[in-house]
Amino acid sequence: MSCRSCRDSLGLTMASASLAPPPAKSASGAGTGLTIERLTKIYPNGVRANDGISLRVDAGEIFGLLGPNGAGKSTLVQQVIGLLKPTAGSIQLGRFDLVDDPDAARQLCSYLPQAPVPIDALRLREAIELSGLIRTPARRARREDVRRRADELIDALQLREWERMVGTRLSGGVRRLVGFAMAAIQPGALTILDEPTNDVDPLRRRLLWDRVRALSDAGVAVLLVTHNVIEAEKSVDRLAVIDNGRVIAEGTPSSLKSSERGRLRLQVMLAPGVETPPMPGFVERHLRSSHTLLAVIPEAAAADGIEWAQRLLGDGIAEEYALGATTLEDVYIRMTGRVADGDGTG
Amino acid sequence: MDAGAAADGSLAARAEPGAGPSHWLHGYAAMVRWHLLSLRLWAPAATAIEILSGVGMVYGIGLLAPHLSARGALYATTGPAIVALILLGLILGPQLVAQEKMAGRYEYTLTMPVPRSAAAFAWYTVTLLIGLPAAAVTIAAGVVRFGVSLSVSAQLVPALLLGTFAITMLGYALAHAVSKPMATMLITQVLVFVAFGYAPINFPSSQMPHWLVEINRALPFLPMATVVRAGLTRGLVTGVWVSYLVLAAWALGSAWLALRALGRRG
Amino acid sequence: MSALAPTGVRVPVPRRGVARWLSGYLQMLRFEAASQRDWLPLLLVVELLIGAGMAIMYGFYVSSVPPRLAAFIVTGTPALALFPVGFVMLPTAIARRKLAGSYDYVRSLPAPRSATIAATASLYTVLVIPGAAVSLAVASWRYGVALHISPMIVPAVLLTSLTAASAGAAIGHGVTDPMVTSLIGNLIIFVVLLYTPVAFPPQQYPAWLVHLHELLPFYNMAIVLRAALSVGLVADVGRSYAILAAWTIAGLAFAGWIASRRR
């Protein structure tokens, strides 16, 4: 579990001041987290997109879904939000059964889809405010509150300069942020974010992750789908690696990396056009992805690794190298057998 | 810590899904706003198209059939406005949805927490706002062109409201129930074609083969034309009550189909 | 070349000249034929609808159809069938590519731009003929009008189909917003069906409108086809041929120019 109260006492919830305390504390309604049990989805053409997936996202927790293209991540979240109907299994949010009641799903969860949000003719600010209005229960919707919350988000994500611009004129990255704001303005009990940082510039990515953390601090459960292993490592509390419709690993980033304890990652950038050089004996595993060679070596062989890399440099086979701690990406590669999709930056 | 919380209870995370009339009305009002704003670029164009098609039809008929009888002139005056409304309900809505689907943005509107019926009714409201003024202009143009005099009665109001509702729901159903956007566009364009030329809206049914007229009695177009014409003329049309029934049946059937399609999950 | 392809793949040498144009043309023809395969039944249906369908519909709008009017309607039918292909279907097909994102992909293929346009135009020219022919047959049967088909039918059909295809290519490539494409298409169809002396004798229309249409392609397409299908209904067909040729060349040139611009 995560240590929300510790963060609270450090005043880290200042940014989320205007979100009311989570109903989780009142132990009613939808505030006690998402439970998915043995979820299976078989498409009419026979494709088994999800195969017996079980996982749990607590209120106030950021849970990451990691996996290659076609692993079934988007299928999973589409079943949670009610766009798809599961073939088998259950999805429970607090006391609400989301499979039986997709209407409740839409009202209790907010969603940022992978596709661009349809705000072509809407101005940035309009889209966020209107989304807030639509997503807030009728009896408690007040324009001033929505407006204030929209202001907060616009400032926090540094979108002020595009406030009055219509959707068609916004860049892909800004549009993504607007989509995020449209969900975050009234996050519900569960916020589902499908690739939230696609196309977003590095500075604003940090701002976005801050907002996501603010949501979880306010008690919202966050379910995050991402390709970006390196970002995931820094931002999620727990994660699950999904491949071929199944969960193949689950835990906190540290617990997953513990399987790699005692090892280092040697990354070598090869010169264009060269064949993969023969691996010295101390290399436990390696993977070549176009010009990058990723080798995992035991800590004890650090000096040997550097010497080997320097020899490759001298022979003109490599252009540069780096030696460092193993990352989540190495765990990911070991489990899925492939490099994570996406730009890997951040 | 949560300084704004007390004053700001309205933004508490939803603990319960909304229900009841206030939730429905809230969703309805919000969706009307959403549609109007989303159509900001297209609503003026849609209105212009409506007026141009309506008035264009009026003068076009004048060219095709230069020697109209008094009866024919009444048909040519009242018909185009109805066809223009059919054009709006069957083409505009489905085309916009098809557009969204092709660009992959359709999915988002399905995740909005508004009751499906409220969303449908909001779309109908927007259609009325765009279509009725244009219909009025078209009828006026007909009066000018053909020099007829109309006897407007109160019947016109329910006729227009129900007729537009039936057509809009049919368009909505086609847009949401048919999964391939190209198929939707094709079907709706065929339907408008039928409404324009194979339904006795712009001309008296005596000018069409009898069997075609019979088929039209079961389609929504002729009934819609009949009830609207009954509100604009006196003694011109018969079978008004039957037409209301047929129209209502189409309205309810299409609405049911549309809502069912919206609620369906893949 | 091997420096560019270290892994041993052979990089094709860029070719120039007529051979390249021809091979590009054939490539694109094959590509277009394959990718437009699902459009074929649709094309046929649309042509029938607007061709024969409109011809029959006009009969409902008037209280009676005397023989001369019937002859006009029937001989105007093939032109009617061609309009939607050129002004709606082809632009929509191109617009659909833009929306799906494959437009730029096609642009990046190695064939020369003019060859691509030529391939699209020639493919559509051939594809539209069956629909127009069937429409004509249906209309002629419905109105009981006998046709006098002359050998001029061959150049007439080829030229008018090409004009429609080139118009479609010009609109499809030239207009950036697919919604606008669809709008223009529907507008043109609407105007053409009601305000063009295609199915009705020009005497029914205001003089200024007829003069305008003598410059636009629509009426001329009808004249050219009508001359090859009847006797004594058309006076000066040579002028129409010239105007259509001009529109065709302009359309293809415009389409080629637009498609080769780098944004």
pTM above 0.90, yes or no: no
Q: How far is CA C158 from the centre of its chain?
A: 10
Q: Which of A17-31, A280-294, C50-64, C77-91 is the least confident region?
A: A17-31
Structural tokens at position A125: 């600010």
* Cβ neighbours of B114 in A, within 8 Å: 134
Q: Which residue in chain A has the smallest CA separation from C5?
A: A273
State how far the alpha carbon of A255 is from the alpha carbons of A237, A328, A340, in Å.
11, 10, 19
Chain C touched by B48 (CB under 8 Å): no
- Model pLDDT, residue C208: 93
Domain coordinates in residue numbering, chain A: 3-251, 257-336
Residue type, B201: I
CA dihedral of residues A73, A77, A79, A84 (deg, nearest 10): -80
- Second-level CATH architecture of A257-336: 2-Layer Sandwich (3.30)
Chain A touched by B18 (CB under 8 Å): yes
User: How does strand A96-97 pair with strand A263-270?
Assistant: unpaired
Return the partners of chain A (3 or more C-beta pairs < 8 Å): B, C
Which residue, A148, A4, A10, A220, is CA-closest to B1? A10
By Cβ distance, the residue of B91, B182, B197 closest to C54 is B197
CA dihedral of residues B179, B185, B190, B195 (deg, nearest 10): 100
Which residue, A324, A317, A339, is CA-closest to A269? A317
Same topology between domain A3-251 and domain A257-336 = no
Measure the CA–CA gap between C27 and C106, rounded to whole angstroms.
12
pLDDT band at A28 (very low <50, low <70, confident <90, very high): very low
* Cβ neighbours of C83 in B, within 8 Å: none
Alpha helices in chain A (DSSP H): 4-9, 73-81, 102-108, 124-135, 143-156, 172-184, 202-217, 229-235, 253-257, 302-314, 328-336
- How far A283 CA lies from chain C's nearest CA (Å)? 26
Measure the CA–CA gap between A177 and A197, rounded to whole angstroms.
8
Structural tokens at position C35: 């990718």
In tens, the pLDDT along C112-171 reads: 777 888 888 888 888 888 899 999 999 999 999 988 898 989 999 999 999 988 888 888
Residue B5 reports pLDDT greater than 50? no
Measure the CA–CA gap between A93 and A104, rounded to whole angstroms.
10
Classify A3-251 by CATH class: alpha beta
Chain B touched by C190 (CB under 8 Å): yes
Residue to test with chain B: of A134, A149, A192, most B Cβ within 10 A? A134
In tens, the pLDDT along B142-155 reads: 999 999 999 999 99
pLDDT band at B7 (very low <50, low <70, confident <90, very high): very low
Q: ipTM exceeding 0.90?
A: no
Structural tokens at position C91: 């632009």
Q: Which residue in chain C has the smallest CA separation from A273?
A: C6
Beta strands in A182-284 (DSSP E): 190-194, 221-226, 238-243, 246-251, 263-270
What percent of the residues of chain A are helix, what percent strand, and what percent coil, each to the nearest 5? 40, 25, 35
Measure the CA–CA gap between A241 and A65, rounded to whole angstroms.
6
* Alpha-carbon torsion (C224, C230, C231, C234), positive or negative: negative
State how far the alpha carbon of A233 is from the alpha carbons of A152, A246, A253, C38, C201, in Å.
27, 20, 6, 46, 76
Q: CB distance B49–C183 less than 8 Å?
A: yes
Which residue, C19, C74, C15, is CA-closest to C198? C74
Q: Quick check: A226 and A234 in contact, CB under 8 A?
A: no
* Cβ neighbours of B33 in A, within 8 Å: 130, 133
Eight-class DSSP state of A278: P
In tens, the pLDDT along A289-320 reads: 888 898 999 999 999 999 999 999 999 999 99
Average pLDDT over residues A185-205: 91
